[in-house]
Structure 1
Amino acid sequence: NGIVSNAELLEYVKKQSQAYCAAQSQCQGLDPQLEVNYALLGASASSPTVSATDTQQQTPDYGRIEEVKVEDTAQTAYVAADPVDAIGDILGKAESGDVAVALSSDHLKNGDSFRISVTSRTGGHLILYDVDTDGKATQIFPNEAAQKITRLAPGTPITIPDDYYGFDFEAEGPSENVLVAIVVADDVDLTGVAPTGYGLTKELDARTTIADIAGTLKQTWTRDVENRSVNWSLGLMKYTVH
């Protein structure tokens, strides 16, 4: 989207470090870290371009970028103005195709009932959010309505809500949203940032919520022989309600 965020830069450095280490005969692993306020993960790693239309007073060419102040930091941050576009910047990781998200209908109108399915090539714990252009996030999963919350099995889809919920989702529009599915293979404790009680009913700030998730997943995994990054996969699906 024209922004190279701090999170995207970190993921790039991680991949390049791993490639370098794999080519060396004596390299026990490299796991680059980024010490930054989680709220800055989605911020541009460099200043935005400057418009020279006014030679007396040059100003940033914002376009789809907005300037924000982040609490407890003196740094000016430039982020994607559209919260839906900002999600990829905050998470930083490119989709690999390991996580697929689908809706029960390809064409949604206001008031239509629908369900969401998520399928992952690898097993893990699922976190699923719906983010709208107003910056509101709804935690679809985990939630208190699910009778049993377990790890996703590889290749086995989960449908939300399923028949045991006793209800379907109802589309609200017009709107443009993105579904954010994160599957975490490692046993990372995410109850502090994605508790079950947030599910379905609590209105969340999308940028803050996704940043807290991303920051937690970017910590070093220390429970193997060698320290490494946390294993997690991402699936995004943009959809429109007419």
Structure 2
Amino acid sequence: MRALTLITLLLISSLLPLFGQNDTIYFNRRGKSVKPGKKYEYKEATDATGVVTRITKDNTYTTKFKYQSGEIHGKYTEYSHKDSVELIGEYKEGLRVGEWQGFDLDKNLLYTESYLEGKIVLRKASDYSLSLYDSAETKNSNVTGDPQAWINFQRANFKIPAAVYKSGDEGALIYEFLVTTDGKACNINWINKNTAHPLFAQEVLMKTLQFQDFLITYKEGKRIVVRLETRLSFSMNKGK
């Protein structure tokens, strides 16, 4: 009996390391887990402390964070090429909260962002980014390398609040902003929003901050910060 017990204990102890390991899990573009060998967009592995390392299929980005009750919770760090920190912030029950910071590959702070219940409400250029601003390179209208991408983004993401439809407002919303060296809008300034419904203006502000592919401008082989001006025309029919 003792021999059998000893053998059983030895067998269990030999299996513990296997059960203690955290296998890599693969996910498709919809965030659904797939079997190893299947087409995937990113993979995740969890260490003994609960830190999850997520790596994209092309190895472009690596992120580190923790889950709590199935949601990302706590400190979040995103790394790009050469393990440089590109983005750092905090999640609360799956939603971004508080201040976030974005960096370039040389560890220069590019901007700070503010989030409220998962929604971005502000992005401000850092002193470093402002030092790269070249007013002579101001652009109008052509806000992206592919103008259609901006139009498609508006159509897919701009949701007009019901109150705006009922107001029957029409006119133009004109605003300007700086574009950082990684193609993000910051320091948004309204040129004309008096004729726009405030809810529509807020929607435009938030969605502009969410767009990630504004035109990156180069001068003498180096990325610079530029000011862009854009205009959105709108016409609403009054609801019955």
Tell me if both proteins adopt one fold, taking TM over 0.5 as the criterion: no
Structure holding more strand per residue: 2
Structure holding more helix per residue: 2
Larger RCO of the pair (alpha carbons < 8 Å, separation 6+): 1
